[in-house]
Structures are given as structure tokens and as C-alpha cells.
């Protein structure tokens, strides 16, 4: 259950999880088992199976009539797809994740634990901000020894909201004058948070090599964007060790 802010902070930092600070066992264990089972039962190739499963997830996210929690419930997604092919289903992703929540199946990216510990302070709230449900993410955070770093953990099954809706963030934006969103997903971690008035830090692993020597605050004006009318992040980082100095500079500019 989410913690309601009990006091004011100087800064609230919302940190994405998957592909930003952690890599869990979905891609290496869960998806391969699911896709292989469906492929073997139907004769469809793995690429087609993956497309069908991902399409079910994306269509749920876009449908306002489907609860946010259900849109990100991979177990329900897998069962739904299996039923379309008349298959019995016995794979439970949440159980698999509990068994594979530690290295080498799950791991921390870019020494994230040390980076987050560096920026952690009494006047900053560091909030895990993820579209993964708690039953998937909590075991991984526990297995990697990260859970104690966070002031709170926000998931779609907290208030039944996705990152596209400000309700996802609960009362935390009110706990500080400065809110910073950090993540690798341009839409979820840049476009939406910026629309809510947050400062944004985009973790862009594939930033062009010629831009890597540029200051993180200048990179947004030279980077490529997936839309014709980009929302510029306040800064772009290529690795997490760049984050502390960016946080300090944003605080300096704001406060």
C-alpha cells in the first residue's frame, strides 16, 4: 500500500524501474516460456505469438474502459490469449518471478543502488514509479536489495491508474515544490510527466555517440525523437552515474 506523504520534501524523484534501474526475468524467463508454449500448441512462430500477446497488452492500455490494473496483469493477458486458441493454461508469471528475482535472471543496471544511495537524503523522496504490478515488481526489488532505498512504490494497482494519468502519482506531487521524473520510456517518463508539471530526465541508452560528450542539459536539443513535435526532456542521461549531478543542478535551478 502506498505511503501518504507525512511531511514536505525539497524534491520528489519518481524513478522508473524496468530498463532504467533493473532488468527482471520477463524477457529471459517468463516470455520465452509463454511464447514457446503457445507456439508449440498452435504452430505459430515465436515472432507472431509475441506480437499477439503484446497487442493484447497495448490494446488494454488504450481502452479507457479496462482498469489499469487489468491492462498490466500479464497473467490475465496470457490466459486471455491462450483461451483464444482453446488452450489450457498453467503458467503463472508471478510465481516464476519469485523464483528468478535474483542474479543472473534479474539484475541491477548501471550500479543503480549506489547511484540512488548517493542522491538519497532526508529532504528528497525517492519513489519507484513503474507500470509493473506489485506482484511482479516487489519480489525483484527485494531480491536485488533495492526496496529499502525507496520512500514509496507506485504501481498501477495502487490507485488503478497508469502513468498517463496524474492519479498514478497519488498525493506525492504535493509533497514538494519540485518533482522530477526519471526513466527510459519517452512517452511514459517524459511526455506525460512533463504535462503534469514535472521536470524530466530521459535515460537514453542509444544516444548518438557524437552527443555523448555534450552536457546532459544540452543533449535534448540535438537528440532524435519518436514524434514530429517532441516534448524536450530537461536533461538526457546515457547512464545512471550521470543522474546525481543532473538532480543537483535541477534543484539549484529551481530552488
pLDDT in tens, 138-186: 999 999 999 999 999 999 999 999 999 999 999 999 999 999 999 999 9
3-state secondary structure of 63: coil
3-state secondary structure of 128: strand
CA angle 50, 52, 54 (to 5 degrees): 65
Sign of the dihedral through C-alpha 42, 46, 48, 51: positive
Interatomic CA distance for residues 156 and 135, integer angstroms: 11
pLDDT digits (tens, 9 = 90+) for 32-62: 999 999 999 999 999 999 999 999 999 999 9
The mean pLDDT of 1-6, rounded to a whole number, is 60
Q: Residue 252: name the closest of 11, 13, 16, 60 by CA.
A: 11
**% of the chain with per-residue pLDDT over 70:** 98
Give the pLDDT of residue 3. 62
Q: Sort 119 into a burial class: Cβ within 10 Å, 0-12 / 13-18 / 19+.
A: buried
Interatomic CA distance for residues 239 and 11, integer angstroms: 21
List alpha helices for 63-205, DSSP H: 68-71, 74-84, 93-99, 112-119, 134-143, 156-159, 186, 192-195
Residue 6 has pLDDT above 80, yes or no: no
The H or E element spanning position 251 is: helix 243-254
Give the pLDDT of residue 229. 79
Give the pLDDT of residue 5. 72
Interatomic CA distance for residues 68 and 78, integer angstroms: 16
Identify whether the C-beta of residue 56 lies closer than 8 Å to the C-beta of residue 81: yes
3-state secondary structure of 190: helix
Q: Which fold has domain 9-24+106-254?
A: Rossmann fold (3.40.50)
| Backbone torsions φ then ψ of 100, nearest 5 degrees | -130, 35
Please provide the average confidence, as pLDDT, over all residues in the chain: 95
| Backbone torsions φ then ψ of 72, nearest 5 degrees | -110, 15
Q: How confident is the model at residue 18 (pLDDT cuts 50, 70, 90)?
A: very high
Sign of the dihedral through C-alpha 157, 159, 160, 163: negative
Q: How confident is the model at residue 87 (pLDDT cuts 50, 70, 90)?
A: very high
Domain boundaries, the chain: 9-24+106-254, 26-99
pLDDT digits (tens, 9 = 90+) for 130-145: 999 999 999 999 999 9
Q: Residue 16: name the closest of 244, 243, 181, 197 by CA.
A: 181
Q: What is the DSSP letter of 204?
A: -
Neighbours of 37 (CB within 10 A): 17
Amino acid at each position: 500500500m502506498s505511503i501518504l506523504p507525512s511531511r514536505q520534501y525539497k524534491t520528489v524523484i519518481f524513478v522508473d524501474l524496468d530498463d532504467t534501474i533493473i532488468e527482471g526475468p520477463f524477457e529471459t524467463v517468463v516470455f520465452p516460456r509463454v511464447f514457446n508454449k503457445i507456439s508449440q500448441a498452435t504452430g505459430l512462430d515465436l515472432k507472431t505469438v509475441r506480437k499477439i500477446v503484446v497487442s493484447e497488452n497495448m490494446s488494454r492500455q488504450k481502452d479507457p474502459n479496462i482498469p489499469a490494473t487489468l491492462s498490466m496483469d500479464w497473467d490475465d493477458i496470457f490466459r486471455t490469449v491462450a483461451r483464444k486458441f482453446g488452450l489450457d493454461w498453467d503458467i503463472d508469471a508471478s510465481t516464476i518471478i519469485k523464483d528468478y528475482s535474483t542474479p543472473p535472471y534479474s539484475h541491477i543496471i548501471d550500479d543503480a543502488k549506489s547511484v540512488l544511495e548517493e542522491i538519497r537524503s532526508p529532504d528528497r523522496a525517492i519513489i519507484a514509479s513503474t507500470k509493473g504490478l506489485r506482484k511482479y515488481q516487489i519480489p525483484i526489488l527485494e531480491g536485488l536489495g533495492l526496496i529499502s532505498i525507496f520512500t514509496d512504490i507506485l504501481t498501477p494497482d495502487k490507485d488503478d491508474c497508469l502513468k498517463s494519468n496524474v492519479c498514478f502519482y497519488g498525493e506525492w506531487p504535493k509533497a514538494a515544490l519540485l518533482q522530477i521524473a526519471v526513466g527510459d520510456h519517452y512517452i511514459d517518463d517524459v511526455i506525460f510527466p512533463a504535462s503534469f508539471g514535472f521536470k524530466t530526465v530521459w535515460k537514453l541508452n542509444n544516444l548518438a555517440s557524437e552527443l555523448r560528450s555534450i552536457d546532459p542539459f544540452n543533449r535534448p536539443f540535438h537528440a532524435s525523437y519518436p514524434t514530429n513535435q517532441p516534448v524536450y526532456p530537461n536533461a538526457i542521461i546515457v547512464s545512471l552515474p550521470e543522474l546525481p549531478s543532473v538532480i543537483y543542478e535541477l534543484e539549484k535551478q529551481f530552488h
